[in-house]
Chain A
Amino acid sequence: MNGPEILKRASVLAFAAACAGLHPARGQAMNTYWAKIGGWDMSSSATKTVNLGGIEPANIVAITVIIHTDPVTIGGSPRVEADRLDRTGFGEVGQTVTPSNYMGRGGSFEVTALSSVTLYRGSDLQGCGASCQHNRFLQGLHSGSTGNRGWVRVDYVGTPVNASQPYAIKTKVLTIGSWNVAGATNKDVNFANFGYPVNRVASFQATLVSDDQIVVSDIIRTGPSGSFGGIAVLTDKVSPPLAVLRRGPYSDYFNGAWSWNFDGTQNRGFIKADYLAAECNEGSGYTRSFIGFAADGGDCHGNNGSGAAAVHVIQTQGGDIWSTADKFAFANKPKTGSDLTIKARVDKIENTNTWARAGIMLRASLAANSRHVAMVVTPKPASGSGNGIGFTVRTSDGGATLETSPNTLSAPYWVLLQKTGSTFKGYVSASGTGDPVSNPSAWTQVGAAATVAFPATYYAGLCQTAGNNTPARYNTSVYSGLNF
């Protein structure tokens, strides 16, 4: 690039920034709301309305809708697929649409009323019925109406809606790998590399990057001079399951007729998939206890997997773990013995209050005023440092609660309690590797050791409180790696 060219571009940029009403929106706090679509018999109902929990429409930044198919058998192979509802496309401008080039099974969605989104299934443009594989979404093969049909992801700015999300959604981004798009219309990516099944996908997007990395595009985009949208669909039809990518029929974009090439051998782009790590269902092996307040209905303790691999989600109200009596939810198991080490990773804590707490606890009884020790994580607010991770102790039933919180840490972080007879110590760790005995460099003690006389049988588990209950508000927090 020569000097005049640089000046020309600088002028263009300056002019555009000044005149285009551009707001980079840096620092905007973005929230994500997940809504299950629920049952939708797409063979008989063209639309489905999904509640968005009170989100202001003007604050919606992005919506992604994922549809899960019913199990179907095609070519003798049973499969379940995940697909985006808004995928394209219908072919090029003026192109005669045939079953072979018809890639459209797209639907659509729109927000036209306060805080709900209407989903529309796609249409059978070609009229070829179930014989068109690409029409599967439209042809009544998705008649199941009781199972969950998919997910709506809504990213939004502004005040968080007062509706907790009892789901643990995680994200992985996978490289597509090499794909000479100019020479091969399709690309299969081994979806098994994500490490979870297709039926747990809650949202995904596929992005193409040009050889010289100067152009990035959504693979389902439509084109600047017509439709050359591609498709991306996830399927478990084979072993391993695949992410099937297909470029659109319009070739100029891909064959170098434009300034960008897609025929190299380097990584061609990315697949970003959000997946349901754990759902808020009753977990196994834990007792739900509401300490100091009545069962709040929204409480649920879920897990996925077993042992240290489990992911736990707790949704509850609760006031606080403080003073002489507590109000919180406790997913616990009775324990005996002189010594115990319990640790867990608090993956996320919802910011329902600066004193919302999520962590681990050892408790003498299930009474509200019971002796206990706990390591509790508080939220990191949008501004300010928060209240950190604290070591909380009540040494006698009905006594005052003392807390040592000399840090500004928050989730995700590991917490650990170590019981040796009547001596208790609390630790934090970024990595969670081992324990303070086997790997002392990985753990930092919080506060001083506490002495609390515990009965022979006591309770151990996850403790959580929303930090306020006027007005009542549910707090949803996520844990993993619980081990004791």
Chain B
Amino acid sequence: MGIPTRTAALCLFSVFHFVSAGAAQTVVATDETLKTQLVELTGWNMGNAADPDKDLFPAPLFACGKAVSLSVTILSDPTANGKPYVDNFVRMNRLRDLKNERGGSMEIQCFQDNPSWLEISLKQHHYDPGQTSYFITATLQSRSYRFESLTARRGWIKIEYYP
């Protein structure tokens, strides 16, 4: 995961708008003004334990301080019925056994000195170092889902923002 430098953060060439400070909350967007950037995710062999992260670099359509929601959806390779298994990347497990943890995370980083650059960082997570992520070891979990294809659509990233 790339970590932007403080130098970049403090660059004087910022073009970002700043929402006013203070305790009062204000409505800044509605369904009629909110916009969406979609990024299709492919080329991630999640079954490769050496590649638990994925960084993407789309051209942003928004100013970073105006991104209001982030979503990542992960699709498995097609299953026996030809359909993928669909999961939310930030989900937590539904079982008591923490070893079944399969959460992931996402964040976006902007480069204020170059608004045309955006980094989206995805990372798999597991909570027991001795247990590989559910995403990676799907076949070991008595489930038939695989995440190994480098060419299949692996999912989508949705970023909502206001102009």
Residues of A within 8 A of B (CB): 1, 5-6, 9, 12-13, 16-17, 19-26, 28, 30, 56-58, 60-64, 86-90, 93, 104, 106-114, 117, 120-123, 125, 155, 157, 169-178, 189-190, 193-194, 205, 207, 209, 212-218, 220-224, 226-227, 229, 258-260, 265-267, 269-270, 272, 274, 412
Contact = CB atoms under 8 A, between A and B. Distances in A.
A177 to B, nearest CB: 5
Given A173-B30, A175-B19, A214-B8, A222 B90 contact: yes
A13 B117 contact: yes
Given A62-B158, A86-B91, A217-B106, 20 more contacts: A5-B5, A13-B117, A21-B41, A21-B150, A24-B38, A109-B91, A155-B71, A155-B158, A177-B22, A205-B69, A205-B70, A213-B16, A214-B110, A214-B112, A222-B104, A224-B121, A259-B5, A266-B20, A267-B21, A272-B29
Nearest to B102: A108
B65 to A, nearest CB: 4
Interface size class of B (residues with CB under 8 A): 35 or more
B146 interface: no
B70 A217 contact: yes
B88 interface: yes
A16 B63 CA distance: 21
Interface string B75-112: 10000010111111011111110100101111111111
A159 B87 CA distance: 21
Contacts of A25: 38-40, 156
20 contacts: A20-B43, A21-B150, A22-B43, A24-B38, A26-B38, A61-B158, A112-B85, A117-B86, A173-B30, A174-B28, A175-B28, A176-B25, A177-B22, A205-B70, A205-B71, A214-B109, A214-B112, A216-B67, A218-B107, A267-B21
Interface string B48-81: 0000001111110101110111111101000001
A93 B101 CA distance: 11
B40 A23 contact: yes
Interface of B: 1-11, 16, 18-32, 34, 36-44, 54-59, 61, 63-65, 67-73, 75, 81, 83-88, 90-96, 98, 101, 103-114, 117, 121, 123, 125, 127, 129, 150-151, 153, 156, 158, 160, 162
Contacts of A64: 71
Contacts of B84: 57-58
Contacts of A16: 55-57
A265 B21 contact: yes
Given A58-B75, A226-B127, A266-B19, A214 B64 contact: yes
A274 B32 CA distance: 12
Contacts of B129: 93
A272 B28 CA distance: 10
Given A111-B86, A175-B28, A217 B158 contact: no
